Amino acid sequence: MSSVPTDRVVNETTLRVRYAETDAMGIVYHTNYLIWFEVGRGELSRQMGVDYRTWEEMGLYLPVVEASCRYLAPARYGDLVIISTWVEEARSRTVIFAYEARLQETGQVLAMGRTVHVCVNRAGQTTQIPPAWREIMSGKTGEK
């Protein structure tokens, strides 16, 4: 069952599984989901108008400090996979992104994950996320 919220901005990115992403068993190797999550995170950020290039131009960075993924079913070469990405929580210095990967053909959920990011400056010191960006990243749509 899908865990994608209806009260937040959600980006859906469709990817086709490449042969190089599969292992000897013919299924997607587990670390590729984290790469797909990064693709989804980048697309969501662009959609919200706060893409990573803008962060860097401001001297700010959002390194991943924690990542998790729960694998529920395999994807295989050639499958079309939809990566849904949303901001679970935006605080003064951290942002948490959540993800769901599912098969386009059937809607079967393949994996769910999240990444925690901390805002740092060029010197690597923790700093505040600009309040206007935090508001944008809260991702609330106003729908229930």
Cα gap 58→55, rounded to integer Å: 5
CA 103 to chain centre: 16
pLDDT along the chain (144 residues), means of 10: 87 98 95 98 94 92 98 97 97 97 97 98 96 83 47
Q: Is residue 23 among the annotated active site residues?
A: yes
> Of the residues 7, 23, 51, 79, which is catalytic?
23
Q: Superfamily assignment of 11-137 in CATH?
A: Hotdog Thioesterase (3.10.129.10)
The Cα angle at residue 35 between residues 32 and 40, in degrees rounded to 5: 125
User: Of 87, 86, 89, 95, which Cα lies nearest the Cα of 119?
Assistant: 95
| Predicted pLDDT of residue 144 | 40
| Predicted pLDDT of residue 143 | 45
Cα gap 133→8, rounded to integer Å: 15
| Predicted pLDDT of residue 137 | 86
